[in-house]
Amino acid sequence: MKRVTGIGGIFFKSENPEHPYEWYENHLGIKREAHGQGAAFEWRELKDAAGNEPGAKALTAWSIFPRGTNYFGASKADFMVNYRVDDLDPLLAELKKVGVEIDSHREDYDYGRFAWIMDPDGNRIELWEPAKEK
């Protein structure tokens, strides 16, 4: 079973998210999407599940959250990485078998399914199974 297939997002906290958003835009050209919740870097997978090129369209999200956000759960870190996965439920079952701490909360959207786990250092990790292309 494939587990992680790539980086789906990078999120971090700030005392004043507006300031780093402006800094990243001015100095590195990272512009927020119209909804104001971060940027999306679009790319294409090299191959699809059948091995055909090019693969599916994809994106990596990048967002800055307020320091007091609850989105990072009980994580000790000021950042969280979102990993893309092929098949969320079997992966979570395997992780549970070996004692990985798994948040029982799940979120499902038209663009995919989400779950959260903790690494051994107490860092929250977001797992994302993107919706299958139709």
pTM of this prediction? 0.86
**At 51, is the pLDDT very low, low, confident or very high (cuts 50, 70, 90)?**
confident
CB atoms within 10 A of CB 89: 12
Express each pLDDT in 30-46 by its tens digit.
999 877 689 999 988 88
Into which CATH architecture does domain 4-130 fall?
Roll (3.10)
- For residue 37, the model assigns a pLDDT of 82
- Using CA atoms, how far apart are residues 79 and 9, in angstroms rounded to an integer? 11
- Using CA atoms, how far apart are residues 111 and 60, in angstroms rounded to an integer? 13
Express each pLDDT in 3-20 by its tens digit.
898 899 999 999 999 999
| Domain limits, the chain | 4-130
Burial class (CB in 10 A: 0-12, 13-18, 19+), 55: middle
In this predicted structure, the answer to whether residue 49 has a pLDDT above a threshold of 80 is no
Q: What is the DSSP letter of 132?
A: P
